[in-house]
Amino acid sequence: MKLNKAGQLIPSLKKDLKPVVWIAGDEPLLLQESADAVRSLRRETGFEEREVFTVDRSFDWNSFKESVDNLSLFATRKLIELRLSSPRLEEPGRGYLLDYLQSPNPDYLLLITSLRVEPATMNTRWFKTIEASAWFLPVWPLGIDELPDWLAQRLIKTGLRATPEAIQLLVQRIEGNLLAAVQEIEKLKLLVNPAGDSSHELDADQVLQAVADSSRYTAFNLIDAALVGDPVRTMKILQGLREEGTEALAILGAVCAELRRLLPRLHQVASGQAVARVADEAVGRNFKRKGTVSRALQRLRAAQIYRLLDQARAVDYAVKGLSPADPWLELESLFLSLSGSPAAISRLPGSA
């Protein structure tokens, strides 16, 4: 059974102890903390043994079978962890799991952790069979609008209070890197409030002095910032990716793929279909992107996408040395256009 929020996991486990918990996602901190919560609860409920398997292509599934088939003379409750290097289980792994779930040991709990499970995998028969016997928690990275509340709660847990300006500055400094956020909060506690004074309020100047810029982005963060029409954040992420050594061609490939996916959806909207319904179809089970896609469908038109794809060709030529232009300047112009910067739009080929 699929859970929508990490906060639902422990209450669900307490209510119904299914034989499997599968936690999947690309945010290491949230994935780790969710798994830690399961481990802690199991210790509290008598799961004294723990066995961990790291599953890669060379993994011998017979060792897993021996573990789950091993019946002790003394009834001991055991947590068995499978740490998957890939969520797309191949044979014989899926076969071993499905066989085990036909008659799971009530004294065992199987904890599976993996990277994000793609919609195509979720729709397979084998995954649906496992999900029916499991609590499945997809852990999504926090959106930019969720970070302030998350940071405020983190600060409170460590005995710190902060002004809204301080929290906003923290958001800008650590966006996309929650592990760095936790480290910076601990550093702030030591540097700014070592005595643990509950009346002390962290301000923006203290954050500015103490916190390094630890933002970490992906091409998908960049595309989403542009789709919602935020040129300032778009340029910040693009610069960050460039400084991290991301290839311009990789970014170009990702944005072109997104533009091509948007085209038929924009035609659906133009034909009179409701934006909300089209967005639902576009995102599938990746619900967290619905708002982003909805705003893009409301803001963009198919003609703009065609012009942006023409502009992308100029980026491609620059990257491959077929034109004298700077590929990063061309990429910057493309993303400014996509994000709705008026000056960039006026330079688009075919613009009025």
Tell me the pLDDT tens digit for each residue of 277-326: 998 888 876 677 888 999 999 999 999 999 999 999 999 999 988 888 89
In which residue are the tokens 């509290």 written? 44
Domain ranges (residues) in the chain: 6-139, 147-210, 219-346
Nearest to 106 by CA among 220, 18, 23, 202: 18
| Cα distance between residue 105 and residue 67, in whole Å | 11
* Residue 190 pLDDT greater than 80, yes or no: no
Percent share of the chain, pLDDT over 70: 91
Contact (CB, 8 A) for 94 and 129? no
| Cα distance between residue 46 and residue 25, in whole Å | 28
Give the CATH architecture of domain 6-139: 3-Layer(aba) Sandwich (3.40)
Contact (CB, 8 A) for 110 and 20? yes
Tell me the pLDDT tens digit for each residue of 4-32: 888 889 899 888 888 999 999 988 889 99
- Confidence band of 349 (pLDDT split at 50, 70, 90): very low
Q: What is the mean pLDDT of residues 29-41?
A: 91
Residue 351 confidence (pLDDT): 46
Q: What is the CATH number of domain 147-210?
A: 1.10.8.60
**All residues at 6 or more sequence positions from 44 whose CB lies less than 8 Å from its CB, including other chains:** none
Contact (CB, 8 A) for 266 and 301? yes
Question: Residue 235, Cβ neighbours under 10 Å: how many?
Answer: 18
Entry pTM: 0.63
Per the model's pLDDT, the better-predicted residue between 223 and 183 turns out to be 223
Tell me the pLDDT tens digit for each residue of 104-133: 988 899 999 999 998 889 999 999 999 999
Report which residue type is found at 21: V
Tell me the pLDDT tens digit for each residue of 123-176: 999 999 999 999 999 998 888 888 899 999 888 888 888 899 889 888 887 777
Three-state helix/strand/coil letters over 117-137: CCHHHHCCHHHHHHHHCEEEE
Any idea which fold 219-346 has? Zinc Finger, Delta Prime; domain 3 (1.20.272)
Residue 229 confidence (pLDDT): 92
Q: Which two tokens stand for residue 125?
A: 């028969």
| Cα distance between residue 146 and residue 152, in whole Å | 10
